[in-house]
Amino acid sequence: MKVTSYIQGKWLKEGSESDLISAINEEPIAQLVDAEIDYRSALEYGRTIGGPALRKLTIHERAFKIKFLAAYLMERKEKHYKLSSHTGATRKDSWIDIEGGYGSMFVLSSKARRELSDLPFHVEGGTERLSRGGTFVGQHICVPKHGIAVHINAFNFPVWGMVEKLAPAIMAGQPCIIKPSPVGSYLAYEVFKDIIESEILPEGSVQFIAADKPGDLLDHLNSQDSVSFTGSATTGKKLKSHPNIVANSIQFNMEADSLNASILGPDVTPDMEEFDLFVKEVGMEMTVKAGQKCTAIRRTIVPRERIEDVSEALKNFLSKTTIGDPTDKDTRMGPLASSLQSQRFDEQLAVLEDVTDSIFSNGTHEHEGAFTSPKVLVCHQPMKVDKVHEIEAFGPMTTIMPYDSTEEATQLANKSDGSLVASLFTADDDIATEITLGCAPYHGRFMVINKYSAGESTGHGSPMPHMVHGGPGRAGGGEELGGARAVLHNMQRIALQGSPTTLMNIVKQHIKGAETKEAPKHPFQMYFEELEVGQSLLSDIRKVKDQDVEDFANLSGDHFYAHTDPDAASRSLFGKIVAHGYFVLSAAAGQFVHPDEGPVLLNYGLENLAFLAPVAPGDTIQTKLIVKRKTVRQQREMDLFPFGVVYWDVEVKNQDDVLVAEYTILTLVKRKNKLDIDLI
């Protein structure tokens, strides 16, 4: 296999070649073809070809492409698994990288389509009223940048690390240039080749660098570009301080390896489920991917009186770890990613062994080269020995550290000055509260486990696409994933200011106070494509009667005194009987709903309901229905019709033109036309 660069829509097949080595047998698995790349032209190609093509699409259209791409890659996963074994990964290890990566694409796509605007940009939050009369308002929106997202990825997760960055950038409308680590690049290359062969993404939206180093790539970035780096803190800091990055204030996101910790609560004894769960978690984090995870547990923090118990239980767990060929189903831990990584692991471990006691080394394997074995160290004075909080041996190891109080446990967890994740195993929620809040500022994620959550826990070392991934300080200070946030990380947030009508026309979403226009016919008789933002219906006027309030109380069973007891109501905030808020809501629906069959299929949601003023018998109400925004929904096999979601603003006013209630309803509305996304 030749691992080549894909630049400006072409594979660069000529260049200096070097062998890429299998971690299993140290034999060449592929050749890296390091070509001469004109990075200035590559960046310009992405900006002028890929960028405009992506920006023509809405966020939802881009998200559908990511969904379909994930499905395409998932169908080809077995060949990815086959290559992954040469990185030293067992089938279980590879599942995290491969299917975990494609699963992340599915989740991020779904979250974007559920939570972000079906527009080329995202309308964020509500409108801010900036003037007394409401004629000058503000609205935040997030727009695609006119630049390139450069992704410099680590060796330990060639697939997940690539697609979890690529997916949100593409959905944000930003083309990508991907630079994988040479170690394991043959796997990233195979997946990337499938991405190109799928022809799902627009031309120019992705490029791939097969090289040891990125040359002068960073020299040609501008303020519209961004860099996302995963790897060692040392390399990350070097790249982040690149003169061009600093000079042009180029967005730089860093996710660095960190000295993550797991804490055993002082309440946990060896006979409790939480004890066994803790030991298993530490052991698993040491051996999954041979400990080559940026989230692995490097520091195992336990009550001083539990050192012996934890040590023995952990040694017992690790002694059952079979080390060998990762393609063997009985193997629980394969080799490190390369002999160089093994050498570095040994060097870092030697530094730690100078300040700790080594209590376990599983030497049951007979292999050499990149293979190693789990190591357990103990540092008896962790508050005084700084190296155990500074030096990371990137492999299957952990250091046990004792504490004498919950305050000290928190201090130890925070002593590494920033990590991606920490975890706590306790059955006591008071302890959980104290330690969690004490640790929170120093860690990007904090997992609290007891016997009730353990069964469905995804684990200490598993960043989930729904939740943010990153951490302060040593962990890089960056943030990835986090559901729809992942997309917004790649966009430019801008504050718009102007009249409500002008801003409505810009953002394609109704804004309170904007001019509306009467719909040509009842909106519930109009198809999805016919409805326009700002179209409205003003209902007839209805007078509220005493009998209405009494009947609603009897029908609903809501006999609250303010609606039913004149004497008690006279002492209420209103001073008299008032109608139920939900009566007003129901009566308003009766004013705007069209009774006949039509394109509106059903009402399936209501948002931001507020009752703003009381309605009493004798008052009148009038309702205005306004098309707020629209979202296309993919037609699936079980759907009888193609449809979209329409969000309607509802305003209910009384005889004095006072707003008494407002809310947004969501309806499914038939589409006239099928789209490319339907039934895929």
Q: Which CATH number fits the domain that encloses residue 414? A: 3.40.309.10
Q: Which of 226, 242, 257 represents a domain boundary (last residue)?
A: 257
Q: Tally the domains of the chain.
A: 3
Quote the domain boundaries for residue 403: 260-473
Residue whose entry in the numeric block shows the structure tokens 């519209």: 224
pLDDT tens readout for residues 137-192 = 999 999 999 999 999 999 888 999 999 999 999 999 999 999 999 998 999 999 99
Asked whether residue 134 is assigned to any structural domain, the reply reads: no
Check if 142 is active-site: no
Assign residue 569 the CATH number of its domain: 3.10.129.10
With respect to residue 676, please indicate whether it lies within any of the assigned structural domains: no
Would residue 483 count as lying in a domain? no
- 390 and 358 housed in the same domain: yes
Query: Which tens digits make up the pLDDT trace of 534-574?
Result: 999 999 999 999 999 999 999 999 999 999 999 999 999 99
Tens digits of residue pLDDT in 190-249: 999 999 999 999 999 999 999 988 889 999 999 999 999 998 888 888 899 999 999 999
pLDDT band at 675 (very low <50, low <70, confident <90, very high): confident
**How far apart are the C-alpha atoms of 166 and 175, rounded to whole Å?**
9
With residues binned 3-state (H G I as helix, E B as strand, rest as coil), the percentages for the chain, rounded to 5, are 35, 25, 40
CATH code of the domain in which 172 resides: 3.40.605.10
| Percent of the chain residues past pLDDT 90, beyond the cut | 73
Stretch 452-466: mean pLDDT: 88
Eight-state DSSP code of residue 340? H
Within-domain flag for 21: yes
pLDDT given for residue 650 in this prediction: 95
pLDDT of the residue at 198: 94
Q: Are 238 and 361 found together in one domain? A: no
DSSP conformation class of 249: T
Residue that finishes a domain, picked among 214, 229, 257: 257
pLDDT band at 70 (very low <50, low <70, confident <90, very high): very high
The question of whether 379 is a catalytic residue gets the answer no
Is 509 within 8 Å of 120 (Cβ atoms)?
no
Residues 218 and 314 placed together within one structural domain of the fold: no
The pLDDT assigned to 337 comes to 86
* Same domain, residue pair 433 and 540: no
96 occurs within a structural domain? yes
Strand pairing report for 297-303 and 260-264: parallel
Q: Which of 295, 297, 324 is nearest to 88 (CA)?
A: 324
Verify that 275 and 422 share a domain, yes or no. Answer: yes
In terms of domains, do 251 and 264 share one? no
Per the CB < 8 A criterion, the answer to whether 663 and 607 are in contact is yes
Given 190, 255, 285, 662, the catalytic residue: 255
Most confident region among 20-24, 247-251, 341-345, 634-638 by mean pLDDT: 247-251
* Inside any domain, residue 453: yes
Whether the pLDDT of residue 121 is over 90: the answer is yes
Whether 441 and 520 map to the same domain: the answer is no
Q: Is the pLDDT of residue 299 over 60?
A: yes
The reported pLDDT for the residue numbered 360 is 84
Q: What is the pLDDT of residues 480-536, one digit of tens each?
A: 898 999 999 999 999 999 999 999 999 999 998 899 999 999 999 999 999 999 999
Residue 503 lies in a domain: no
Torsion of CA 672, 676, 677, 680, to 10 degrees: 110
Domain end (from 220, 239, 257): 257
pLDDT of 617 > 80? The answer is: yes
Determine contact, residues 111/466, Cβ cutoff 8 Å: yes
Are 245 and 264 in a shared domain? Answer: no
326 in the same domain as 354: yes
DSSP 404-452: SSHHHHHHHHHTTS-EEEEEEE-S-HHHHHHHHHHHGGGEEEEEEE-TT
One of 176, 294, 379, 439 is an active-site residue; which one? 294
Same domain, yes or no: 451 and 565: no
User: Can you tell me whether residue 551 is helix, strand or coil?
Assistant: helix
Q: Is 240 inside a domain boundary?
A: yes
The band of 296, judged by pLDDT with boundaries at 50, 70 and 90, is very high
Which pLDDT score is estimated for 678?
A: 65
Based on the number of CB atoms within 10 Å of its own CB, is 244 exposed (0-12), middle (13-18) or buried (19 or more)? middle
More confident residue, 362 or 340: 340
In whole angstroms, give the CA distance from residue 677 to residue 208.
Answer: 27
Write down the pLDDT at residue 368. Answer: 66
363: pLDDT confidence band, cut at 50, 70 and 90?
A: low
pLDDT given at position 138:
95
From 24, 626, 13, 618, select the one nearest 323 (Cα to Cα).
24
Q: What local confidence, expressed as pLDDT, does residue 366 receive?
A: 53
Same domain flag for 288 and 415: yes
Regarding whether 327 and 452 lie in a shared domain, the answer is: yes
Tally of CB atoms within 10 A around 635: 19
